[in-house]
Amino acid sequence: QKEVEQNSGPLSVPEGAIASLNCTYSDRGSQSFFWYRQYSGKSPELIMFIYSNGDKEDGRFTAQLNKASQYVSLLIRDSQPSDSATYLCAGGDTGRRALTFGSGTRLQVQP
């Protein structure tokens, strides 16, 4: 059973702080990892993806991947109230095949 685990939250951080979202996965065949943001009642929106061990930065977002520990994280710097949403972590194998999603972490950024 391929699983992606996330803490459901809510994770509450003050405006301007760093939000740290974590995800673990059980399938060592997973090669690529994706973070999606989903506002209530809306569809998931891709934030960023990561394939290689280490960090990948895109604006205020940094994804971190540790394949040995089967751990993926997303850091959001200078958190804004508009970042309040559910963040979904997903893992996939090589190629354009099925993604396995976690159940998401709800982030609340307090003004």
Partner 1 sequence: DAGVTQSPTHLIKTRGQQVTLRCSPKSGHDTVSWYQQALGQGPQFIFQYYEEEERQRGNFPDRFSGHQFPNYSSELNVNALLLGDSALYLCASSAQPGGYTFGSGTRLTVV
Residue 67 has what DSSP assignment? T
Selected binder of partner 1 within 76, 88, 107, 109 (CB under 8 A): 88
For residue 93 the two structure tokens come to 């194998």
Q: What share of the chain is helix, strand, coil (3-state, %, to 5)?
A: 5, 55, 45
Closest among 15, 11, 13, 24 to 87, alpha carbons compared: 11
Residue 100 binds to partner 1 (criterion: CB under 8 A): yes
- Can you give the length of the chain in residues? 111
Residue 32 binds to partner 1 (criterion: CB under 8 A): yes
Selected binder of partner 1 within 37, 65, 102, 109 (CB under 8 A): 102
Per-residue binding string, partner 1, 34-63, x by CB under 8 A, is x-x-----xxxxx--x--------------
Name the site residues for partner 1 (rule: CB under 8 A). 4, 32, 34, 36, 42-46, 49, 88, 90, 92, 94-104
